[in-house]
Structure 1
Amino acid sequence: MQLRYNYRVYPTPCQQVSLAQAFGCARVVFNDGLRLRQQAHEAGLPYISDGDLSKQVITEAKKTPRSGMVE
């Protein structure tokens, strides 16, 4: 037997901004990783592993200055 739960959240305006930033950042990182893998595939290079992708995209993204972020 499987149970299913439905939850609904009603974030405050400040929480909405924070959630939008978090999801926006996740989307940018995903798209960057996808683009790198597609470029490698088109160039005939081997598949980029998750670890290498993490180093190339996430680690480098952390080094960039925070612009446009609301604190």
Structure 2
Amino acid sequence: LEWIAKKKNKLVVFIDRWCPSSKTCSDCGHVLESLDLSVREWRCPSCQSVNGRDENAARNIQAVGASTVSLGNVRQSQTAIAV
């Protein structure tokens, strides 16, 4: 991945592997104490938003990566791109 990113003049950002990306609400930042792997969707007890496990984790990973390289608040494009 690093080699391809370098070839395309892109940046690969590594985040802590223990970052609780699935258990953290991407809307308000509330962190659940535990979240079983079989749970694919959960409601935040703080803000009541419904979080799909994978999409929520992706948003949190994007935010942590962006803040790591000081990009600030980075929003995902609304257009899906097939790779």
Q: Which is richer in strand? A: 2
Rg (Cα) greater in structure: 1
Please report the TM-score for the alignment, with normalisation by the length of structure 2: 0.32
Please report the TM-score for the alignment, with normalisation by the length of structure 1: 0.35
Q: Which is richer in helix? A: 1
